[in-house]
Amino acid sequence: MSHLNSFFAAIALMVVVPHGWAVSVPADYETIQAAINALEANPTLGDTIEVARGVYTENISFSNISLNRTITLQGEETAATFLEAKDAAVAIVTVSGATDVVVRNFTFRNGDTGVVLNNSTGVIIASNVFRLGNSSLAINSDEATVADILNNTFYDNDTAVLRGSEFSKITNNIFNNNNVAISPNTLTGAVVYNCFHNNDSDGVRGTQAPPNSDPLFVSIDLGDFHLKQGSPCINAGNGTDIIDDTSADMGAYGGDYADVFPFKVQRVVVSDASSREGNPSIDVSWSANESHRVTHTTRAGGYMLYYDSDQSGPPYEGTDALGGTFPSPIDAGNVTSYTIPDLTPPNINPAVPTISNITPASQTLNISWGAAASATGYRLYYGVNDPGENQVDVGAVTSYSLNNLSNGVTYSIAVSALYQATYYLSVTAYDNTRNSSHESAYSDEKSLVMGSENESDLSATMTGIPEPVEPFPLLPDEGCFIATAAFGYYDTPQVQLLRHFRDRYLLSHFPGRWFVKQYYTHGPKAARYIERHPEWKPAVRVALLPLIAIAWILFKASWFVQAVIVMSGVTMLGALYLRRKKWKSAPVNHAREKLL
């Protein structure tokens, strides 16, 4: 019975743990080391760690791993998945006392040592680019390690490979521009089918090495170590290429573990071709991908054009090119420019936005509004007598600061939403296998605005007054000086209630605006006095309570009560204003009486 239970347990494990099942970084685990630790602790997670394109700054360790299966650490794309040392004094990857570990499809950079192999067996370091700098060691393999160093590209390192025994085999690699390629010279075996060029010392060249000639990398500056057509390293390696089943190329883009992706397309440029074509059209151009698998003279690869007018970023699902007969993507073939013809840019009327807040500062109004449906941008209107006096296009934002305004002046503000069709475009390269899985990552996205601009109605008008700055200790750079000084800080509910009262009721009529102006003129001095004599704060708070109560009632009470209070307040302010005018005219009248 126990044998039967063991049999069913084995079957269950096979179902739960399918061969090749992978975990992902950073989707499943934030760091590569966390993923390794998880696989060590839990065999049911699978045997592969797939690392997405990006930069990973870590010191990674495989230590004492023997899980009766091969653990593969694999970058999504060699040219775009970077490993860097968090601690430069420690190797980026250490494999110590481990069995059956594969590290493939990464670019190693920014570290003193790339990979250290200690007392490990069944290790494969394949299809990586090592570009650590001319004072660094790319791979250090000790005398007890059995490893395959296979189809890597070593460029601009101090020592590319330092090995302690001939148990570590070195095959199908490219060594270019290193101080030392393979060391020491005393270990000459197990070095076959490698390409050497421009190293200060090749060290051990081994057998089946082509002449010491330029491997013809596509672009060292861009980090594109694919091979150009005519490279002596093409079809010169041992075994076959997984890409097209021909004889293996040397370097990171050949052999059984080759990265199948062409390098990302560079220097994409888009422009409006409508005037030339007579209908909405877009010209797209880009730099050629010079990999021999794309430029092949007898069987070339090509380029795919992706476009969309609804959203940025993939998936690009445009459908309107050539009257709706050329949906995205378009196979442009083996060219470096293409015109996407006869487009139909969307014609949408955006919704009307709503201003949510106007916050004053010195000579500034900070304005916020809610996002309007279908808007691709916004236009802000402002003026003293009418918001239509000035306007500014602020872009696809929902807040903006109007500067260089006059303090103490009431500004009327409104905002409208804009819509104009925007096309988003990207280009990819594919190789001559015509296999869709051998397509590059998207190029950097480009955008182009086309078609007519539609503008919504204006939002409801709101007003704001830039407030003067009176900097002195403990008072913020805001208005409501006296209330702020009395209650201690700007954000107290009492201060905010008084601000709302000012904006809604005082600024809506001439006597109220006059009162506010007087307040801005004399308030900072009073606030400074209160701040310097805090014993007055309780009395000021008590004095402000009736005004706060009135403001509260106005915002909370019925419309009838609000109307009565507003009319009373306007009458009082009007009387105060008229009395002030009478005081000002009194000396003049007295002088006239004397003359008479």
Q: Which helix (H) or strand (E) holds 338?
A: strand 337-340
Domain identity same for 73 and 205: yes
Find the DSSP H helices in 339-480.
Answer: none
Residues 446-479 pLDDT 10s: 999 998 899 999 999 999 888 754 433 333 334 4
User: What's the pTM value of the predicted model, to 2 decimals?
Assistant: 0.73
In a domain, 34, yes or no: no
Band of residue 433 on the pLDDT scale cut at 50, 70, 90? confident
Residues 315-359 pLDDT 10s: 999 999 999 999 999 999 999 999 999 999 999 999 999 999 988
Domain identity same for 84 and 98: yes
572 conformational bin, left if phi > 0, alpha if psi -120 to 50, beta if neither: alpha
Domain identity same for 278 and 398: no
Band of residue 590 on the pLDDT scale cut at 50, 70, 90? very low
| pLDDT for the residue 588 | 41
Residue 489 predicted with pLDDT over 70: no
Residue type, 419: Y
| pLDDT for the residue 217 | 98
In a domain, 62, yes or no: yes
Exposed / middle / buried, residue 383 (Cβ in 10 Å: 0-12, 13-18, 19+): middle
Domain identity same for 375 and 427: no
**What's phi and psi for 108, nearest 5 deg?**
-90, 130
Mean pLDDT over each residue of the chain, to the nearest integer: 84
Beta bridge partners of 182: 161, 203
Residue 199 predicted with pLDDT over 80: yes
Residue 487 predicted with pLDDT over 60: no
Residue type, 165: S
Residue 203 predicted with pLDDT over 90: yes
In a domain, 26, yes or no: no
Domain identity same for 429 and 396: no
Q: For residue 281, give the 3-state DSSP assignment.
A: coil
Higher pLDDT, 409 or 178: 178
| pLDDT for the residue 359 | 85
* Token digits of residue 113: 């040592």
**What's phi and psi for 556, nearest 5 deg?**
-110, -25
In a domain, 515, yes or no: yes
Higher pLDDT, 3 or 247: 247
Residue 293 predicted with pLDDT over 50: yes
**What's phi and psi for 492, nearest 5 deg?**
-65, 150
CA distance 16 to 36: 19
Domain identity same for 82 and 155: yes
Residue 411 predicted with pLDDT over 70: yes
Band of residue 563 on the pLDDT scale cut at 50, 70, 90? low
| pLDDT for the residue 596 | 36
- Mean of the pLDDT values across residues 536-563? 65
CA distance 288 to 264: 10
Residues 22-60 pLDDT 10s: 899 999 999 999 999 998 888 788 899 999 999 999 999
Examine the fold and report which residue of 227, 250, 283 is the final residue of a domain before the chain moves on: 227
CB burial of 276-301 (b: ≥16 within 10 Å; e: otherwise) equals ebeebbbbbebebbbbbbbbeeeeeb
In a domain, 15, yes or no: no
| pLDDT for the residue 5 | 37
Counted domains in the chain:
4
In a domain, 338, yes or no: yes
Domain identity same for 342 and 360: no
CB burial of 156-172 (b: ≥16 within 10 Å; e: otherwise) equals bbbbbbbbbeebbbbbb
Residue range of the domain that includes 374: 355-420+454-462
Domain identity same for 442 and 487: no
Band of residue 210 on the pLDDT scale cut at 50, 70, 90? confident
Domain identity same for 78 and 218: yes
Domain identity same for 341 and 365: no
In a domain, 95, yes or no: yes
| pLDDT for the residue 152 | 98
Domain identity same for 544 and 431: no
Band of residue 548 on the pLDDT scale cut at 50, 70, 90? low
In a domain, 574, yes or no: yes
Measured between alpha carbons, how far is residue 112 from residues 115, 135, 140, 203, 404 in Å? Answer: 10, 7, 11, 20, 54
